Structure 1
């Protein structure tokens, strides 16, 4: 260790290091002064535009073209702010060299190594000569930076910096970067693209290397710029959250980074369009190139790649950032190049190993063909000036040809055919700049044998949330796909398969009735029109809606288009969740969400998930045959759920419900009462006069369509925009999904708004709405309907969607700002009114909208809001109600406007419903689903039923349809087949309800099962299958479920009338009875006080009325054990005139006693009578305060105790008319009544 003296000596040495530093500083200062004096400030900067530079032959570098610069006022403000956010500094107030910056600059000038960040003026100066990093240049740059910072404005510094900043990839300056990365001028950059360029700036070192940044770093840097712009107030939080990482064009231009770290070079790019269509080389393509080429291939390979025309025109005609507009301005290809006949040639077929692919990823194709040479032309479908598709690139197979494929795997038990056993034949590395869409790989033989076919797939853009998302109906394509011999409609094991695979070529377009179920019938014309008008659209497949639910969120609208029939649990739940999250949904479809499916992996040995679609169609089997606990029948079928998970009608989501089976090609009708709806603004429909009806193009109501039932799951506030009622002989769905027959149905265009911030849901209820948008589609159709085009523009505007290039013959539409719901009120019946079961009641009222819209629907509830039904009319409105159940209820009304705003403050009125008998299971307003089943065999059909109280069956009823001719005989049977009564129908009408009365009423026992039937010698009976899966209850009558009754309804084929015992599918054959209760009180009633303590002789009675004409046959009373002796029953007028009297005989010790008059007494409806009995010993039964309210057992009514009082009594041993009352007491006196 040195000693202290050594230390002292060292301190006394001359400070040589300090002198050296001071000398260096002096020299540097002199140099700076000289540089200051001698170095001029840059007057103009010239950026590098690599896309405009020719490729240097061998070097991996680009010959630079120091061409166009950009002025500050040409740079959008959001781009400038993005650069400033990335720099985390502003050019003012100190854009030049601060003391800290000067120190860093001095260090960099001396050493060539940077530390920390630099002022913007320093980076501007360094950017003038990026290749020269010599010591003199570094000193000169420092002088220029200081001089610029002190003598020039911040804007001057910023403008020059923007023209020299290093963006990587050989690009310097914003203009060069905008062209290199995005193929557009800087003034056309979006916020996200500006942030991308800002993130690419080399900020640490003014002489830093501009080698390609790793993608993850660029994405992180881009997000940091967006976040910084939000913190600085340039972007709001929603705007920042909505930004999506932009796709650049360098990958499509063939940028490769050579080994050794050289800069990227453009492999083959003669312009923006060429860059867009270039394809990065793959190992498969290299292998293909290495094999001996045919003469044809050699000729093709030798052909020069010509630049695509139209890209410059696109930038001129399209709004900045409109991806779809820019894409469709590129030149397209005619159908003669991209289309095929039917499903194409059977000797060259293939499929994609995934139905969709994100751009930037690779998609594989498996192809089965004996061809020794073929190609794959990749097209994107769109408008393209009406040509319908654009050639993107051409691929060659990646394997030696011919390629022999193994047999497809199969499962005979389910009919599954899975061609996943095939090997990959070709691949496409989808460029990151590929525009999302529906694509086609057209397979074309080139070995001298003609042959071609199509492979359809979807290219997604998972990084960007388009305004509207188009979901393809590929599950339906596959359901109808017969490749391999089976589909969900054809083949084995049950004349249909239970499972179908996505690992198959799709030949749906080439089979009978196949084209309506494929892409080119409805999806294609919808796609053409959307892209023609350049809506901001993205595309996904149905499988994406299952496995990638996040892709459904963040859009203004989601579209279901065409024949969208097959939906799994996941897809329905995910779409509903998107709707609940505020995404608007448009169902330009019908028969949608009809069959419930589930997903399984492939059986090719790879177990690829979501490649097998399973649907046992258990509704057709009328049984739970799928081994999975999941239901795979129709969504609406409730018969086996629980424990399964069916029984959820599709209109709960869509607003509409499938009803008319195809193929039909009818037209939507819009009566004048719908003319004022928002949907029809700026169309001729808006000018309809009262009584007029507009008919849209033929085929727009087809090839299948929906109705809009008021079932228990119908969305609240369903607005209707049209009304078309049509009848068919064999097209109407009659059950849960198995039977079609004759009937009438009504179609409406609908819309509802999901509550609590959810989205709007539009239901076209027809598969072929797109036929009105564009006339190019499979199958013949009518011309374009401009009313449908304008209505779609209007609807999209209310979804928040605007076209970038609207057709010139359409009118721009704006989004509704109406948030106020309409109002409605009840005017009839009066509050507190009494109505009668089985009798028609007209509920009416008014409705109005003052919030800027019009009333588009009125809904009425007759059960305290449990269920709602649509009323008729929008201003004055009315609703026909036939009460079914006696009791107190509240009538409610609500209105909805034409943008889905639903009234929440409801008008209400309480009413009392009293029963009315004679009564039946079904009111006369009920109409069967099938009026006349096309079965001409003679048959006895019937129904099992019970009564809940004493009464009599007066006769038999049935519904008669056309063809149900001949003599009909009505029968009443015990449950074991004993005939109780029979009568022949007379004076029948041609159709409708018929009734015959028995010669005398037949008393029935409560809770006992009977059978009512009629004989139809010509068949053609009315029918609803699967009706008695639930019980039918109306007042005292019940038709039990088929399960509870051991089968209901019943039938028996034969030449004559006979007891029916057979059943089929719980069918209702619409047989009924006419029933009348015979008493005021059921025989199960027991008084509160059975043996009163009053032992005086007394006459006790009840005041009553009948709602219908009939006869009183006798008197009843309840007897306690102490109420002994002789009892006399009497019927009086309300004034005290005796009408009939009889002495009770054969009484029991207690309970209900009954005596029958020698002659029945006819009574007048709604007239008060008094029934009484006399006891000499008292001890009568009673309930006090019973008649404080009216007692109803229609048709008999026990009057409430009012002015005259009820019940009545009189102390007497002489059986005199009772007039006194006490505490509204019920003394349990009754009558035996027969209604007429």
Structure 2
């Protein structure tokens, strides 16, 4: 019998799987093309490799949330294998520095895989930039080293652990390796939100700090990616956030669980979602995770249009898409002028170089330009938002299914309201059943008027001032046989897994209980409905 060019037999796949050491990880093979089978085993094969817990920081020293002893940042948040990244490091005194790179995943429960060591190389103290216009803190440091991403590094979130000879203290740099392959799931990191909350070089410098009059939610303050990530300043005292943004707080447990279960997942940054609308068509489902608060209008439109074309989406998050931001290149002209005024070393501005850098990497500065759905009358009365040039931004609930409502903060149990919905199949949950403490510290409410939208869980949140709000978890059909799920809580990923090093937060007098089989089953049910199967699920 003549073989189809587009199909492979079970015998062929078994032979290939044995050669790769993957026979135990085979998926059902009926109807799988060569490309689909290769796709389905990439993450499985990666996680068969030797893992380690050495990716964790052991000795961390923070002063005003900053790691002054050793710190750094990268020239890009996201890049492809084969591309190069510049790394900028600062130390409190001259020292030799090494960088150990790790890819984050499951790896037999270790949580990360050692990839490569860079260095040692000499690092000198570098200048903390002065405060520029819009309170911008943008480093113009000398490059410490460059690194070309090896061609065999697959898509994922990578941390570089910084260590040096002068002392025992450590911190991270972080970046995403993306690809262009077809995959089942796209895991989007929330790096624009990481930057909005970044308080480097001290506790007075994030997007939430302003010159008088004090307005934590205005358009007047700008934040730059050209600086290290400080230790995260809210909800949980997590030393592993030193240099890693918020990934190891809210997003990593989902990464760990997806790769543990053998899901076919690829990774991207917020910036990728902004610039690569067509890239959304290469996956079956888009994932927003944890604290995904800051989006550009282009990101919103790209994802919303992709859902209209048939993309599934899961917002396993809370407080997502609250703020509309704009993106600009690094502002080297301004910082160079300030360096000159301060009598610092860099006195000459190479205008052509500045323009070239801006073209190469135009997304290094963020600032608010509005509130998705517009500033409400209640929010306006608080006097802490805006003013913004426009207030007619699209409502985020038209994409998510619900939105952030004042008061934004609070904690609650996640309470089932529609147990007959397919998303609860096999959970055994009944109406009124609760998953304790799963809602927090921010959430989504105010469900949209979308045909077919159903509220599957809802309840009341209470914050530390006893102010109350409502959360609503929703599911709606996208119109092309696709689905959109809104879990309505930042804490959803804690119900999926608890990898090494993870600290469950406590906020507004509430906390998640951690891993819960019902959260795992609900997530699996949604992905199954999207036509996405885990290799290791029975």
Q: Same fold (TM over 0.5)?
A: yes
Q: Could you say what secondary structure the match of 2:444 adopts?
A: strand
Question: CA-to-partner distance for each residue in 1:849-879, whole Å, 9 max, x for gaps?
Answer: xxxxxxxxxxxxxxxxxxxxxxxxxxxxxxx
Give the 5 Å matches for 1:387-426. 387-396=110-119, 401-408=122-129, 410-411=131-132, 413-419=133-139, 421-426=140-145
Give the 5 Å matches for 1:440-479. 440-447=159-166, 449-462=167-180, 464-479=181-196
Question: CA-to-partner distance for each residue in 1:221-255, whole Å, 9 max, x for gaps?
Answer: xxxxxxxxxxxxxx99xx79x779x8xxxxxxxxx
Q: Could you say what secondary structure the match of 2:303 adopts?
A: helix
Answer whether contact 1:565 1:591 (CA < 8 A) is retained.
yes
Q: CA RMSD in A?
A: 3.5
Pick aligned residue for 2:283 from 555, 575, 584:
555
The corresponding residue for 1:538 is 266
The corresponding residue for 1:683 is 427
Question: CA-to-partner distance for each residue in 1:1193-1214, whole Å, 9 max, x for gaps?
Answer: xxxxxxxxxxxxxxxxxxxxxx
Give the 5 Å matches for 1:184-199. 184=20
CA–CA separation in structure 1 for the residues paired with 2:179 and 2:256: 19
Pick aligned residue for 1:637 from 371, 375, 394:
375
CA–CA separation in structure 2 for the residues paired with 1:417 and 1:493: 17
Structure 1's 595 and 367: CA in aligned 2 closer, same or farther, altered over 3 A? Answer: same
The corresponding residue for 1:792 is 523
For residue 785 of structure 1, report the CA deviation from its aligned partner: 0.6
For residue 660 of structure 1, report the CA deviation from its aligned partner: 5.6
For residue 365 of structure 1, report the CA deviation from its aligned partner: 1.1
Answer whether contact 1:408 1:422 (CA < 8 A) is retained.
no
The corresponding residue for 1:157 is none
CA–CA separation in structure 1 for the residues paired with 2:170 and 2:463: 40
Structure 1's 478 and 554: CA in aligned 2 closer, same or farther, altered over 3 A? Answer: same
Answer whether contact 2:40 2:264 (CA < 8 A) is retained.
no
Pick aligned residue for 1:802 from 502, 525, 533:
533
For residue 649 of structure 1, report the CA deviation from its aligned partner: 2.0
Higher relative contact order (CA 8 A, sep 6+): 2
For residue 349 of structure 1, report the CA deviation from its aligned partner: 0.7
The corresponding residue for 1:323 is 42
Structure 1's 493 and 392: CA in aligned 2 closer, same or farther, altered over 3 A? Answer: farther
The corresponding residue for 1:609 is 362
Answer whether contact 2:106 2:112 (CA < 8 A) is retained.
yes
Answer whether contact 2:494 2:504 (CA < 8 A) is retained.
no
Question: CA-to-partner distance for each residue in 1:875-908, whole Å, 9 max, x for gaps?
Answer: xxxxxxxxxxxxxxxxxxxxxxxxxxxxxxxxxx
Structure 1's 746 and 638: CA in aligned 2 closer, same or farther, altered over 3 A? Answer: closer
Pick aligned residue for 2:86 from 364, 377, 388:
364
Answer whether contact 1:636 1:649 (CA < 8 A) is retained.
yes
The corresponding residue for 2:433 is 694
Question: CA-to-partner distance for each residue in 1:1209-1229, whole Å, 9 max, x for gaps?
Answer: xxxxxxxxxxxxxxxxxxxxx
Say if 2:503 is the partner of 1:778.
yes
For residue 723 of structure 1, report the CA deviation from its aligned partner: 2.6
Give the 5 Å matches for 1:443-842. 443-447=162-166, 449-462=167-180, 464-485=181-202, 486-492=205-211, 494-495=213-214, 498-509=221-232, 518-605=246-333, 606=354, 607=358, 608-615=361-368, 631-637=369-375, 644=390, 646-659=392-405, 661=407, 664-671=410-417, 674-685=418-429, 688=430, 693-698=432-437, 700-709=438-447, 714-726=449-461, 730=465, 742-743=467-468, 745-755=469-479, 757=480, 759-776=482-499, 777-780=502-505, 781-806=512-537, 812=538
Runs (5+) with no aligned partner, structure 2: 9-14, 334-353, 378-385, 506-511
Question: CA-to-partner distance for each residue in 1:61-81, whole Å, 9 max, x for gaps?
Answer: xxxxxxxxxxxx9xx957899
For residue 450 of structure 1, report the CA deviation from its aligned partner: 1.5
For residue 332 of structure 1, report the CA deviation from its aligned partner: 1.3
Answer whether contact 1:358 1:459 (CA < 8 A) is retained.
yes
Structure 1's 489 and 512: CA in aligned 2 closer, same or farther, altered over 3 A? Answer: farther
Structure 1's 783 and 768: CA in aligned 2 closer, same or farther, altered over 3 A? Answer: closer
CA–CA separation in structure 2 for the residues paired with 1:403 and 1:243: 49
Answer whether contact 1:414 1:493 (CA < 8 A) is retained.
no
For residue 183 of structure 1, report the CA deviation from its aligned partner: 8.0
CA–CA separation in structure 2 for the residues paired with 1:696 and 1:511: 24
Question: CA-to-partner distance for each residue in 1:519-561, whole Å, 9 max, x for gaps?
Answer: 2222011111111101000000001111222222221100000
The corresponding residue for 1:349 is 71
Question: CA-to-partner distance for each residue in 1:414-442, whole Å, 9 max, x for gaps?
Answer: 111111x1122123221222121111011
CA–CA separation in structure 2 for the residues paired with 1:508 and 1:662: 22
Answer whether contact 2:55 2:114 (CA < 8 A) is retained.
no
Answer whether contact 1:602 1:610 (CA < 8 A) is retained.
yes
Q: Could you say what secondary structure the match of 2:289 adopts?
A: strand
CA–CA separation in structure 2 for the residues paired with 1:513 and 1:476: 16
For residue 765 of structure 1, report the CA deviation from its aligned partner: 1.1
Question: CA-to-partner distance for each residue in 1:81-115, whole Å, 9 max, x for gaps?
Answer: 99xxxxxxxxxxxxxxxxxxxxxxxxxxxxxxxxx
Question: CA-to-partner distance for each residue in 1:311-338, whole Å, 9 max, x for gaps?
Answer: xxxxxxxxx9511111112221115745
CA–CA separation in structure 1 for the residues paired with 2:376 and 2:513: 39
Question: CA-to-partner distance for each residue in 1:994-1032, whole Å, 9 max, x for gaps?
Answer: xxxxxxxxxxxxxxxxxxxxxxxxxxxxxxxxxxxxxxx
- Given the two structures, how large is their TM-score scaled by the length of structure 2? 0.79
CA–CA separation in structure 2 for the residues paired with 1:415 and 1:439: 30
Q: Could you say what secondary structure the match of 1:774 adopts?
A: coil
Question: CA-to-partner distance for each residue in 1:652-685, whole Å, 9 max, x for gaps?
Answer: 11111112656544220125xx222111111121
For residue 636 of structure 1, report the CA deviation from its aligned partner: 2.5
CA–CA separation in structure 1 for the residues paired with 2:171 and 2:289: 24
Structure 1's 508 and 489: CA in aligned 2 closer, same or farther, altered over 3 A? Answer: farther
Q: Which of 1 and 2 has greater Rg?
A: 1
For residue 775 of structure 1, report the CA deviation from its aligned partner: 2.7
Answer whether contact 2:471 2:488 (CA < 8 A) is retained.
yes
Answer whether contact 1:580 1:758 (CA < 8 A) is retained.
no
Answer whether contact 2:55 2:161 (CA < 8 A) is retained.
no
Runs (5+) with no aligned partner, structure 1: 1-72, 83-174, 191-234, 247-319, 616-630, 732-741, 807-811, 813-1236
CA–CA separation in structure 2 for the residues paired with 1:533 and 1:701: 24
Q: Could you say what secondary structure the match of 1:556 adopts?
A: strand
For residue 404 of structure 1, report the CA deviation from its aligned partner: 4.2
Give the 5 Å matches for 1:815-1214. none
CA–CA separation in structure 2 for the residues paired with 1:78 and 1:658: 51
CA–CA separation in structure 2 for the residues paired with 1:704 and 1:575: 22
For residue 770 of structure 1, report the CA deviation from its aligned partner: 0.9
Structure 1's 493 and 603: CA in aligned 2 closer, same or farther, altered over 3 A? Answer: farther
Q: Could you say what secondary structure the match of 1:509 adopts?
A: coil
Answer whether contact 1:653 1:715 (CA < 8 A) is retained.
no
CA–CA separation in structure 2 for the residues paired with 1:647 and 1:353: 31
For residue 566 of structure 1, report the CA deviation from its aligned partner: 0.7
